[in-house]
A and B are shown apart, each in its own frame.
Chain A
């Protein structure tokens, strides 16, 4: 019985890091797309404890890109959606390395897009007002690092660019934020860090 408890304890340790490394692999292996972005107000969650000291716990910002609002008259495919319905937005590359939506679908594509020919983004419909669709993907709520927070206070939306990483299944993750030409990457656990001990062993091996 104690072996089972030990196994459970080890699983408790390993599972969060598996999730984090999976996120890191999604960021590193996805197709990169750059989008102009509008950033909403910074929402900081704080708590007051002893002696009225305020401790900041998590900050969150809302990211909005042109892909969150699509006019169905400008694209082909399905044009009538219900709230919370799944939607697949197909993008194709245009001039200046900008990706444009060209069709919408309610079903998952049976074949994945070939790299550099098209891209699929998976999302949910938040609302439909006439021909305008309001769509939510996976990147809208973003927890910035302290450094990103500081930089965001200095610049406006025109100096910002969102760099997304899109996987073959349509899942999008924030790769980095470009603030006035400087790229601030998303917080992640590098996969190579887990295997750092192999480099140490290699360094310690005697040279023949």
Chain B
């Protein structure tokens, strides 16, 4: 009896497999095309096996469990075994479902008058085991609703155990610790059991953890745990092609970054300028990671690259405003007057900037397709990533050198930064126009407009800066090979269209 249901896609939609055809699915087009392609090539399910040709058994179209291990021939033999057929039968599913219901009912009745907390823990663990068994059988039989039901009740049983242990043995757990632990536990389960469900729960717990930690007035001892979990969540979301967890993880990462940066500034661990420079290098590193993902055709790669570029551009514009400043204005007027070395985390800041710059360099060296960068242009990008934070660390020394060795006004450093930003935005605009990415075009236009607003006043009061700006743009354009990049050769068009 055929108990195999039609396979569902990652969004839970059931599609009949059609060899050689691509179905139109909602969601990320590239990712979904890949899913359908994989399904049609190797993982289709037929209800009746084909007759063997020339007396040999063909394993190509045999009924397969989605999680059969080993060679195809071995798995075919394995699935023909009576025990495998029993596991795939509806009797086993109903047994698992009844066992789960019985365990739940028993635990509910026992917990009304608990005699011993240890036995209460055992009753909850029993429910968890029955739930895991239901989830396992449902997964094998492609019953996605019952699989999620089993996993949910397993998590509920873990919650029950935590509640009993916390109350009976006097181990108070704060809400922040609970959310953080839930996030860690579920991400481990997501990676171990390869379940998207746990990934979604982990991201929700991490978001709650981030929002609750904004209430804290100091950085917690385990502040380093969140970036680690976040990185694993992002990697698993991309691996599972899960858009919702990816979006939520990106949002929670931004909230964590913003909240903790503010906390570091308020507690005078770093200055505002150091914080903005650090976020700038994070943005550049994120941009290059997004480009690497684009090369691998991962989901949401364009959005991630644009997000990194936007963060880096905004931070660069803010730093440029600081350099161009003639009279004090907000937020610089409220800045503390401590020198760079007096901040407690100045050494860690330097290490962090160098680490991110190394990351940018490695990513730039690894990216092969999509962007026609020469070695010189890659070096220029990496140098810009490093030089902007350095200009903040050695601000007074650079100003003194400009005054001593040139006839240019103090704001000329800001003009050079503006020239670099303008060129990068122009590069982005041309790339967006050629690849027909409206988001890139609009972002680049926005940055160019902001740049114009910043520069207009300064060019009006210091006309000599116009020459500095124009020369800088020209020299940088030649260095990074803007014209070479956007030359429309046939080969280049092919590479760009696949990016």
Residues of chain A at the chain B interface (Cβ within 8 Å) = 1-2, 4-5, 7-9, 12-13, 16-17, 19-20, 23, 47, 49, 55, 57-58, 60, 82-86, 108, 138-139, 141-143, 173-174, 186-189
A143 touching B217 by the CB < 8 A rule?
no
Residues of chain B at the chain A interface (Cβ within 8 Å) = 67, 69, 112-114, 117-118, 121, 125, 128-129, 132-133, 135-136, 139, 154, 157-158, 161-162, 165, 167-172, 189, 192-193, 215-218, 221
Q: Evaluate whether A23 and B129 lie within 8 angstroms (CB atoms) in the complex, with A16-B121, A82-B217, A84-B216 already known.
A: no
Smallest Cβ-Cβ distance to B215: which chain A residue: A84
CB contact between B170 and one of A7, A8, A82, A143 (< 8 Å): that residue? A143
B125 touching A12 by the CB < 8 A rule?
yes
**Assembly CA distance A174 to B118 (angstroms):** 19
Count of A-B residue pairs with CB < 8 Å: 79
Interface of A, secondary structure class, is: mixed
Interface of B, secondary structure class, is: helix
Smallest Cβ-Cβ distance to A6: which chain B residue: B132
Q: Evaluate whether A19 and B158 lie within 8 angstroms (CB atoms) in the complex, with A8-B193, A85-B217 already known.
A: no
**Assembly CA distance A156 to B400 (angstroms):** 74
**Assembly CA distance A94 to B132 (angstroms):** 55
**Assembly CA distance A82 to B263 (angstroms):** 13
Chain B residues in 8 Å Cβ range of A174: 170
- Shortest Cβ gap from B14 to chain A (Å): 22
**Assembly CA distance A142 to B168 (angstroms):** 9
- Shortest Cβ gap from B22 to chain A (Å): 29
CB contact between A187 and one of B133, B168, B192 (< 8 Å): that residue? B168
The 6 closest A-B pairs by CB, nearest first: A1-B67, A82-B217, A5-B136, A12-B128, A16-B161, A58-B167
- Shortest Cβ gap from A146 to chain B (Å): 10
**Assembly CA distance A71 to B118 (angstroms):** 42
Q: Evaluate whether A186 and B136 lie within 8 angstroms (CB atoms) in the complex, with A12-B158, A84-B217, A85-B218 already known.
A: no
Q: Evaluate whether A8 and B165 lie within 8 angstroms (CB atoms) in the complex, with A2-B136, A138-B172, A174-B170 already known.
A: no
A186 touching B158 by the CB < 8 A rule?
no
Chain B residues in 8 Å Cβ range of A82: 217
**Assembly CA distance A84 to B172 (angstroms):** 16
Chain A residues in 8 Å Cβ range of B172: 138, 141
A9 touching B170 by the CB < 8 A rule?
no
Chain A residues in 8 Å Cβ range of B221: 108
**Assembly CA distance A4 to B135 (angstroms):** 12
Smallest Cβ-Cβ distance to A2: which chain B residue: B136
Q: Evaluate whether A49 and B169 lie within 8 angstroms (CB atoms) in the complex, with A4-B192, A9-B129 already known.
A: no
B169 touching A187 by the CB < 8 A rule?
yes
CB contact between A55 and one of B112, B132, B170, B216 (< 8 Å): that residue? B112
B215 touching A173 by the CB < 8 A rule?
no
Q: List 6 A-B contacts (CB under 8 A).
A: A1-B67, A8-B192, A47-B112, A173-B170, A188-B169, A189-B169
